[in-house]
Structure 1
Amino acid sequence: MNERMAKLEQRLQEQHHKDLFLQTKHTIDAINDLAEHHRLLSALHAINGYRVVGSEEVLFYDTLSQVKEQIVLILEKTVSDLEHKGDKHYEKNFNDGVE
């Protein structure tokens, strides 16, 4: 995902839309912070003797991973629409526009 984000950053800088990249990066960082907070909380619960259900932990982290993937996918579609702005033969990803 880091390589995809780096490519998207470069493409958005060329389009003068680095703000879109930064917003996406901050959102993904917030999700990563949530995962870290959850990891620490789960560790504290385990230390205090509470049973941590492994399948629920896997589901939680898989869900966060899917959310991050969808956020990056939406950014890729947005960049694609920005790059093809004005091209009447291009089928838009977002009919309401990107600006």
Structure 2
Amino acid sequence: ENAKLADRILFNLSDAQKLDFTYGTFFGTFLAMNAEVTGQSGDLFGGLFAESYNGQNQFHINSFTTTTVPEPGTLSLIVLGLVGFIPMLRRKK
């Protein structure tokens, strides 16, 4: 159950210099861009953004679903453009 919530938790550790993820289970995404991160025998359900990482933790990234964005019909747009261009040609004659 906690692993499902991990993708909704964000830890913004902007002032952190060092983090240690040793012997524990951690849930959430950790944003520590200036930190050197270490860890042994721990689990992280989420994500890690850091300056560097050295360790043997297991990272479990939750998959996410996306929805497709409908692409406008290319042929329809070309035809519509030509239909709009025809009156301009008739005026020049």
Is the shorter-chain TM-score for this pair beyond 0.5, marking a shared fold?
no
The structure with the largest alpha-carbon Rg is: 2
Q: Greater share of strand residues, 1 or 2?
A: 2
| TM-score range for the pair, normalised by the shorter chain length | under 0.3
